[in-house]
Amino acid sequence: MHPCIKLKVYRSPPIAPSSHNTILITGCSSGIGRCVAEGLKTRGYRVFASARKAKDVEALAAAGFEALSLDLADSESIDAAVAEVKKLTDGSLYALFNNGAYGQPGAVEDLCREVLREQFESNFFGTHQLTRAVLPMMLAQGRGRIIQNSSVLGFVALAYRGAYTATKYALEGLSDTLRLELAGTGVHVSLIEPGPIDSRFRENAFAAYKRNIDAQSSRHHTRYAAMERRLGASEAPTPFTLPPEAVLKRVIHALESRRPRPRYYVTFPTYLFAVLKRLLPHRLMDRVLRGAEGER
């Protein structure tokens, strides 16, 4: 096209929530999942809010959600939840928000195979199984949205987050591939990449650390002591932390825009690291990332 020709961009109107309004969300016991479930319900969506613990499923039901039990580390529970959603929607689920996950802190050399496997079962394999299970409903309707809650750690690494970072990089790779394969089907895949968000993430990561990392016998024990102080501190949020509503805003766009974005950055650190990753040589980027180590 000639450089003097200016393209006029027309924004098409968003899709009305009422005509595309069913969504299944994982990990609704707290944090982002709970906030997005509430926000979408208020907006008129029919929200299937899931959690893995019975007490959380009960609390969701008591709060007025169509609540489901779904543990991403348990294949049978995924199948049962999808069967229930199929029945309740007559096979017409519009969207899936793959949100449930946890962080397993620890140096890569201190992660045994079983601990790494557990991390992948919840954050990656379960998410994949669930996505495959709901996809036929979306394909049959010729429309649907798959929204993946990734992380800034889905495209940059930080020390002592190797297990979690590996699952989010894997999720990014799978989602990018899936998006290519679904082109033209009416089913869209979007990745959300939050930086620090106010939730129970840190508390849950600390529990996983205490469960699975033998700090005393590690050569990283000094760094672990600092990590324990940081993860155990209930106050003092990480700089640039945003409330989970910042993610809700992107989820709404990914659901209602006629052209949902492949990626949504959330928080200043995500924007910053995305730019730096493009600009800096690897060694310099490593220095920046080593400096940012305590920030998540």
The residues of the shown chain that bind ligand NAP, judged by CB under 6 A, are 26-27, 29-33, 51-53, 70-73, 99-102, 122, 126, 149, 151, 194, 196-197, 199-201, 204
Catalytic pick among 45, 94, 102, 164: 164
Check if 164 is active-site. yes
Burial code (b: 16+ CB inside 10 Å, e: under 16) for 236-252 equals eebeebbebebbbebbb
Give the integer Cα–Cα distance in Å for 164 and 208.
11
Minimum separation from the CB atom of position 122 to ligand NAP (A): 3
Between 151 and 212, CB nearer to ligand NAP? 151
Between 195 and 260, CB nearer to ligand NAP? 195
Taking the CA atoms of 14, 81, 138 and 73 in sequence, report the sign of the dihedral they define: positive
Between 78 and 93, CB nearer to ligand NAP? 78
Question: How many CA atoms lie less than 13 Å away from 131 in the CB half-sphere?
Answer: 25
Minimum separation from the CB atom of position 149 to ligand NAP (A): 4
Give the integer Cα–Cα distance in Å for 31 and 203.
11
Minimum separation from the CB atom of position 283 to ligand NAP (A): 26
Minimum separation from the CB atom of position 275 to ligand NAP (A): 18
Residue at shortest CB range from ligand NAP: 31
> Token pair for residue 243?
């409330």
Please provide residue 97's backbone torsions phi and psi, each rounded to the nearest 5 degrees. -110, 105
Between 122 and 212, CB nearer to ligand NAP? 122
Give the integer Cα–Cα distance in Å for 228 and 201.
14
Name the residues annotated as catalytic.
164
